Amino acid sequence: MAEPRAATIDGKLAEEFAVPSHVDEVKEQMAAFAGRHGAKGRRVVLITSGGTKVPLESRTVRFLDNFSSGRRGASSAEYFLDSGYAVIFLHRHRSLYPYTRLYSNINLLDTLQLKSGEGASSNSGQVVVNQQALPNIAKVLKRYQEVKDAGLLLPIEFNTLSEYLHLLKAAAQALSTIGSKAMFYLAAAVSDFYIPASEMPEHKIQSSNGPLQISMKMVPKMLSPLVKDWAPQAFVISFKLETDPSILLDKARRALDTYRHQAVVANILDTRRGYVVVVTPETQAELILTDEDVKNEVEIEEKIISNLKAAHGQFITQQLD
Ligand code: PAZ
């Protein structure tokens, strides 16, 4: 069946997904960011990252969530920054974040010590950092501060599926001004199903009513209007996650046929940290972490970004011809 175009999706977004009150303000920030970097000849990538939360009640006690940690998006942001891109990081609240992701499993209080000597026994003693508890912290902090001082990273948060959908549309429109210099790297794990506000119970669902049966609608596919209407000149990468390897590549190719964007990064849940396939209409590149890579702490995202940066370069050149 044909995909609904922008007009239909715009209507659906407005009717069935609450518009976040700050969407216009964020859109202006993103447009200014893209304009500033685009004017300097810099490429800009919008990364989406993390899972989405789908409420079951409007005064939400319960919601459906998914596995995504946001690690792919956060580490990719670092490699894009290292490759000269400016990054808009549209991420789920409290999912992993560039640079701090490296310390996400560390208890902050285990990295700090009260300085011995005067005041150490009182509540006002000096606190010092135990650098050994934070591997490579000086190098990571230096890079984080360089990125921050140069204004190269614009973080934008979302919480719910509704916020994600509206902010992605705003981002697509904001980045359309820089044409082919814009890349969309859609790594977030977005729910395919939702309950429309009009069908959602207001109050907490009562277990005294017995077993729960819910019926959910399909979330509109944003790729279609993004590619055709909102940012038609941009370089667009979607991600495809499956658990069954036998259907992965077929589904990636079908997505390319349907949406006519530039590439799909295909991955399997259990092996996603060490193996992906970058599928384009003409090519298929397997990216694998070798034992040597693992020993040298190379991450799969470094290989993904190197592959996509080169493809984006060719795309920009073709658009100029
Ligand atoms: O967030 P994470 O690092 O735990 O996982 C990354 C991922 C599997 C969510 C991403 O690579 C991906 O495939 N995203 C798209 C998922 C999908 O909707 O098919």
Question: pLDDT, tens digit, for every residue of 205-263?
Answer: 999 999 999 999 999 999 999 999 999 999 999 999 999 999 999 999 999 999 999 99
Position 170: which residue type?
A
In contact, 265 and 240? CB cutoff 8 Å:
yes
Q: Quick check: CB of 95 below 6 Å from ligand 1? A: no
Q: Where are the domains of the chain?
A: 2-100+151-204+212-233, 245-321
Q: Quick check: CB of 267 below 6 Å from ligand 1? A: yes
Q: What is the pTM of this model?
A: 0.95
3-state secondary structure of 29: helix
Give the pLDDT of residue 125: 82
In contact, 99 and 65? CB cutoff 8 Å:
no
Which helix or strand (DSSP H or E) is residue 54 part of?
strand 54-55
Pick the CATH number of 2-100+151-204+212-233 from 3.40.1410.10, 3.40.50.720, 3.40.50.10300, 3.30.830.10: 3.40.50.10300
Q: Quick check: CB of 91 below 6 Å from ligand 1? A: no
| Bridge partners, 239 (sequence order) | 265
Q: Quick check: CB of 239 below 6 Å from ligand 1? A: yes
Give the pLDDT of residue 11: 84
Distance CA 95, CA 6 (A): 29
The ranges of the chain with pLDDT < 50 are 1-4
Give the pLDDT of residue 5: 56
C-alpha 65 – ligand 1 centre gap (Å): 13
- Token pair 């907490």 is at which residue? 204
Distance CA 288, CA 110 (A): 35
Q: What stretches of 83-230 show up as alpha helix (H) in DSSP?
A: 137-149, 161-175, 223-225
CB neighbourhood size of 33 (10 A) = 21
Joined tokens for residue 43: 């490429």
Joined tokens for residue 244: 């069954």
> Could you tell which of 272, 273, 279, 299 is best to mutate to test the pocket of ligand 1, judged by most ligand atoms within 8 Å of the CB?
272
Q: Whose CA is nearest to atom 6 of ligand 1?
A: 72
Give the pLDDT of residue 321: 77
Q: Phi/psi at 290 (nearest 5 deg)? A: -85, 170
